Amino acid sequence: MCGIAGYFKLNNATDLPDEQLIGRMIKILHHRGPDEFGAYLDDRCVLGQARLSIIDLSTGSQPLCNEDGSIWISYNGEIYNYIELRDELEKAGHRFRTRSDTEVIVHAYEQWGSECLSRFNGQFAFAIYDKKQGSLFIARDRLGIRPVFYATHNGRFIFASEIKSIFCDRSVPRRLDLKGLDEIFTWWTTAPPRTAFDGINELEAGCYLEIKNGQVSNHRWWSMDFPTEFDRSRSIDSWAEELHELLVDSVRLRLRADVPVGAYLSGGLDSSATTALIKHFTDTRVETFSIAFHDKAYDESEFQREMADHLGTNHHQVSCSYQDIAENFPHVIWHAERPIVRTAPTPLYLLSALVRRNDFKVVLTGEGADEIFGGYDLFKETLIRKFWSRRPDSKWRPLLLRKLYPTLPLSPGRARFYLETFYKKGLSQTDKYFFSHLPRINTTVKLKEYFTDDVKAQIGDHPSLEVFGRDLPDQFDRWHHLLRAQYLEARSLLSGYLLSSQGDRVSAANSVEGRYPFLDHRVVELGSRIPPWYKIRGLNEKAVLKRAMKAELPSRIVDRVKQPYMAPDSNSFFCDNRPAYIDELLTEESLSRAGLFKPSAVNKLKTKCARLSHAHLSFKDNMSFIGILSAQLMVQRFVDQFEPPSPPMSDEYSVWHDDRRGV
């Protein structure tokens, strides 16, 4: 896990190179890679690298080139099958001078061109400069685990792992994209290439860019796919056995490192599964890390301790209070680089800090299992709502919702009325690609009621509901409705929020690399072939995964009802001794200066949140408060007060100029 940055000449009007600029661009990414800084510069291209040393600690410095210096790379991520690919490339005549996976990418690109991407099992974002072709090649992994952003400005194509690095070019405008906000306050994320900033683009998961002769072309190289028919003769045990074997191999590959590797342990099925596979099928000494909450409504430490004791791990725990969330929320927004509508990334930021304090750089995590094997309530809601839609006047079909939410803090009569009223909205829209996500969308969009009239006018009729439906697969309408929901969740929330704000950004903030065994593309593709009725059986989520892991885990872990990972939201900001920034950002003056939200409406919301800080507050009000506060922080940190750092000192990093080719 590293930080990459650079820029490429699009026309003759641009002056290159600029060693001070690339120095600032990599310095601001120091959290992603504090171990080494490096840069390559010539009259067409500049590449920079902030390195977190994990594989080949002594000879894996970047940027790195091939034997004759004609191809250079700046790379963030891991290619887990690099050992096998290296053997294949050596047999084809390639010669290596390092033991790094980085050099494997260089020679794989020489050998296979863009087709090399399909051979990689990993998580990555990299830029390859081909001097002979005069081209730049930028690629992102299948699921979007590692980020890359770009912009074209003043004749330059400029790119980086994080947007703040691009802003180190002082001439690049820094302003929020209001249509991007509109999408975030609909889907929790933007639809690539759009971001929260005007003029800044994100390369979508499973895509690559080619920049040549002043032109930028975008290509998709991988996409999640599902069959329209399934083999009904195959048993769930058969699928579970194949899944178990593949998960063992995925975990083994993700333990490849020249530094110690730990594991997150939440007490749920997914992280317990990855940790158990490390324990039972490798000789790695298991160190585990988890979050405990002061608020017992969110705390799973009982199950974490049970799993740590069961597996005999050396367990570490960080305890998270309301004040911890309030104090660290601005740091999370700085790293997330987008408004968010939940505080959930903040405890994960504290968790990665715990990992780093214990001298670990790498952790395995269970992220991705819910998307691939049907773990979210959203998927079960979709099945119930689809069933209900066939008889919308039925009195008993909506009662199935009560089985999903038996502990709502409402009386039985009010709970039933709430569930039926809330989930019946959009019940006639089963033909819409976003049918599965309508309940979530209908809650989130309430936030947009706080926009000023001017913001609403500038957004206009932007079709935020349609943005993830522009290029759906040809067979999408023929897929089972659960599979359509899975595809949309992976396309939007997985890469845009869960692997970003809750993943890469909060782990990289503390120089920690997260690795995801469930997002091995072989596991994802196997999961796509498993029939939907083996993913959710009745209302039992992830049935095939539970069957696959039943021999490794205690029955209490396998059979427990999933507790979605959540954290205290607005009540975190109304505790005693709350930080001053909260009130400062929500004054009438601050709100008016930012120009996004109506001060009078925000003040009413703030008063309501304070009054009900120890009681039940609706999802709508919680999301609205967090979304408004995070957007105000965005304006403050990135628009009003952004200041690039000084570049590294000359003895802090290595610089290769084109007159030192091959060095």
Which residues, including other chains, have CB under 8 Å from residue 529's CB and lie 6 or more apart? 227, 230
What's 457's DSSP letter?
H
Q: How many CB atoms lie within 10 A of CB 137?
A: 22
Q: Which of 2, 65, 116, 207 is catalytic?
A: 2
* Alpha-helix residue ranges (DSSP H) falling in 214-321: 236-253, 269-281, 301-311
Q: Is residue 261 within 8 Å of 238, Cβ to Cβ?
A: no
**CA distance to 80, 476, 653, per residue, from 500 (Å):** 21, 26, 28
Structure tokens that stand for 389 in this block? 């839609």
| Residue 2 falls in the annotated catalytic set | yes
Q: Which of 441, 426, 376 is nearest to 188 (CA)?
A: 441
Specify the amino acid at residue 285. Answer: R
Structure tokens that stand for 645 in this block? 């750092």
**CA distance to 46, 220, 650, 653, per residue, from 656 (Å):** 10, 32, 12, 10
Alpha carbons within 13 angstroms on the beta-carbon side of residue 315 total 23
Q: Which of 640, 644, 647 is nearest to 167 (CA)?
A: 644
Q: How many CB atoms lie within 10 A of CB 385?
A: 26
Residue with tokens 């970047």: 62
3-class secondary-structure state, position 8: strand
d(CA 67, CA 94): 9
Instruction: Supply φ then ψ for residue 438, to 5 degrees.
Output: -60, -45
d(CA 571, CA 148): 34
d(CA 192, CA 403): 36
C-alpha of 214 from chain center: 31
Which residues, including other chains, have CB under 8 Å from residue 470's CB and lie 6 or more apart? 191
Containing H/E element for 343? none
d(CA 107, CA 66): 7
Structure tokens that stand for 21 in this block? 């600029």
Burial (Cβ within 10 Å: 0-12, 13-18, ≥19) of residue 97? exposed
d(CA 503, CA 505): 6
Is the sign of the CA dihedral 80, 85, 90, 91 positive or negative?
Answer: positive
* Alpha-helix residue ranges (DSSP H) falling in 147-207: 163-166, 178-187
Q: Is residue 221 within 8 Å of 208, Cβ to Cβ?
A: yes
- Residues carrying an active site annotation: 2
